[in-house]
Amino acid sequence: MPVRSAIVLAAGEGKRLRPLTRHRPKPMLPAGTKPILEHVFDELIDAGIEEVTVVVGYGRSAVQSHFGSSYRNVPIEYVVQENQLGSGHALAVAAATVDERTLVVNGDQLVDRQIVGDVITAHEDAPDAVATIGVINHDELSEYGGVIVDADDTVSEIVENPTDDRVYRLNAGVYALESDAIETMTSVEPTAGEFSLTDGLAALVAGSGTVRAAASDGMWIDATYPWDLLEVAEALFETGTVESEIASSARVHETATIVEPAIVAPDCVINAGAVVGPNVCLGQNVTVGANATVGRSVVDADSRLGANATALDCVTGRGVRIGPASTIVGGPGDVRVEASVHRDERLGALIADRTTDEGGVTYAPGTIVGAAATIRAGTTVRGSIDSETEVR
């Protein structure tokens, strides 16, 4: 029986991406100029998936209103995880929709159709497998799942956040599962109040069925922290997943300069003397003022960059106003995320939804500004600024 359907886990917030996730979940943050989840759907459909079930929870209206009941003529069914109790719980919520072998993927990480296709093919070619896990080679595993794969491609162990020196493959978050495997995975007891998909997979490995690994060299990208959205955009350009494009409805002044790679979405306005690029993604209805400069940045929809402003290594939310002659000088800088400080990250500034600066503002490298903040003219800002704060 071929794998025709997929369950996409898209119920989480993405806390380490705050304040961008204050008003929408991580799967709806921009990868280039499209939501991460839209890229996931594209790759699934291009790999042959015909039906999609999406587990939604935090910020679910953002997902449902964007996609509706279908995407690219593929029907979408939504199930709601009311309480975010872990990825295993999210799968359990969707289990009632499954009556045949299915694919399960994370909706907040980018995987390409090659990984999806490799998992599907490996599973269909292994009649003894109750599950097949997509694995890739990756240099950094400490924040992800590691998989020990035997010489015959059997999975012998799964370890979350491995720190020892054994040879692991990275768990790419793409699984082909038989229906009885889902039943086993969702019956595992919670750890510290959370039902983990990794614990469910470990239970499969420890059981009587065979769990296979499908090695792939396809693209896998995760945005864990705000600055990762810049690296996601660069990777999409480098792999050719997205290409430079200026939308037909965009207005670019004849004296403005676009340095590829760059995406200028519909209804953008780039004024005289402005320089945009390289590695810039301008969302829909963004305005770049006269003689402004934007480099290596992801500027989300409905944002405005004033005349003579500079934004380097910048990530914005929606509806941000960067005033005239304001300067985001670019990274590296030290960035505080929750209780941790990340040293020398290449982030000029993260400016969340509907924040306004009045112009002449200087942003120290690594600055994070919360949603709906107001920054008065001529201010220098650094560190973390809370949402709805007025800075003088």
- Please answer whether residues 335 and 301 qualify as being in contact, where contact means their C-beta atoms are separated by less than 8 angstroms: no
User: Residue 273 carries which side chain, given as an amino acid letter?
Assistant: G
- Enumerate long-range contacts of 286-292, CB under 8 Å, 24 or more apart: 288/256, 289/324, 290/253
Does residue 289 sit in the same domain as residue 141?
no
Quote the pLDDT of residue 121.
Answer: 93
Residue range 225-267, pLDDT digits in tens:
999 999 999 999 998 889 999 999 999 999 999 999 999 999 9
Does residue 10 sit in the same domain as residue 135?
yes
CA 127 to chain CA mean position, Å: 33
- b/e code 119-141 from CB counts within 10 Å (16+ = b): bbebbeebeebbbbbbbbeeeeb
Q: Residues of the chain whose pLDDT is less than 70?
A: 1, 190, 192-193
192 within domain boundaries: yes
Does residue 242 sit in the same domain as residue 324?
yes
227 within domain boundaries: no
What's the predicted TM-score (pTM) here? 0.91
Q: Which helix (H) or strand (E) holds 367?
A: strand 367-369
- Please answer whether residues 178 and 131 qualify as being in contact, where contact means their C-beta atoms are separated by less than 8 angstroms: yes
Q: Which domain holds residue 186?
A: 5-222
**Number of Cβ atoms within 10 Å of the Cβ of 107:** 28
- b/e code 279-300 from CB counts within 10 Å (16+ = b): bbbbbbbbbbbbbbbbbbbbbb
Residue where one domain finishes, among candidates 222, 251, 266: 222
Quote the pLDDT of residue 186.
Answer: 78
Query: Whole-angstrom distance between the N-terminal and C-terminal Cα of the chain?
Result: 64
State how far the Cα of 373 lies from the Cα of 257, in Å rounded to an integer. Answer: 31
Does residue 202 sit in the same domain as residue 241?
no
- Please answer whether residues 286 and 268 qualify as being in contact, where contact means their C-beta atoms are separated by less than 8 angstroms: yes
47 DSSP assignment = T
Does residue 218 sit in the same domain as residue 85?
yes
